[in-house]
A and B are shown apart, each in its own frame.
Chain A
């Protein structure tokens, strides 16, 4: 079993590098002699928007999965787990 601290230490650089890749795909860069405020600030804005939407998508996806998986009609929830079917107490 991999220790949890190792998972975290592994994920931090992996996610950071992934996000840097997203950065270069979406952002214009100051390529001239001077740093252009407008470009740097909007590039930061777009990078953070990408992060926000990715997190939003992951959270919404997780919620959708939980709702789908743990609905009453899901096949895995139709076992002998209810008291009536398992011969448990009837109220």
Chain B
């Protein structure tokens, strides 16, 4: 086997790896796109302003600096801002999207773990940016809907991103 063959093998492997990385990332991004959000997802309007978050549920209920969700239920967040650019971030659920004045950005999520989590601004937005935090409270479902059945299948504790 000459040098040229080895080089062509090297080039082939590199191309294959690059194609795999690009295709895999593109596929996950497509999976998580808002167009794949479940039709039954509840819309939550999220508004950022210096320096707090407000939330409005479909039934009109409003919350300030605190958001209550139900485990296992899909939500679609319509995120905007009324002053400067913020970024709506729930790090424990790997969710991040910009809040831009005059624009509604959408992201969807199914909280699969109950408990209290952090909501924070991830785009520097002024003096108290570091204090622009809210509390995400994911509650165990109580009703008897299909959503509840789906949530019941999700383990409540000890779920991590890696398992065998």
- The interface of chain A, by Cβ under 8 A from chain B, is 2, 4, 7-16, 19, 23, 26-28, 32-48, 51, 55
Which of B12, B31, B153 has the largest count of A CB atoms less than 10 A from its CB? B12
Contacts of B163 in A (CB 8 A): 28
Which of B28, B161, B163 has the largest count of A CB atoms less than 10 A from its CB? B161
Q: Is the pair B11, A43 in contact by a Cβ cutoff of 8 Å?
A: no
Known: A7-B5, A8-B15, A46-B162. A35 touches B20 (CB 8 A): no
CA distance in complex: A15, B161 (Å): 25
Q: Is the pair A37, B17 in contact by a Cβ cutoff of 8 Å?
A: no
Contacts of B20 in A (CB 8 A): 15-16, 19, 51
CA distance in complex: A6, B70 (Å): 54
Contacts of B110 in A (CB 8 A): 34-37
Q: Is the pair A15, B17 in contact by a Cβ cutoff of 8 Å?
A: yes
Provide 22 A-B residue pairs closer than 8 Å at the C-beta atoms, listed in order of the A residue.
Answer: A4-B4, A4-B5, A4-B8, A7-B8, A8-B11, A8-B12, A8-B15, A14-B16, A27-B162, A28-B161, A28-B163, A32-B72, A32-B150, A32-B154, A33-B153, A35-B32, A36-B112, A37-B95, A37-B110, A39-B112, A40-B32, A43-B28
Contacts of A44 in B (CB 8 A): 24-25, 28
Closest CB pairs A-B (n = 6):
A42-B161, A11-B12, A15-B16, A8-B12, A4-B8, A41-B94
- The interface of chain B, by Cβ under 8 A from chain A, is 4-5, 8-9, 11-13, 15-17, 19-21, 24-25, 28, 31-32, 36, 38, 72, 74, 92-95, 109-110, 112, 150, 153-154, 160-163
Chain A residue with Cβ nearest B153: A32
Contacts of A55 in B (CB 8 A): 17
Q: Is the pair B162, A42 in contact by a Cβ cutoff of 8 Å?
A: yes
CA distance in complex: A59, B92 (Å): 34
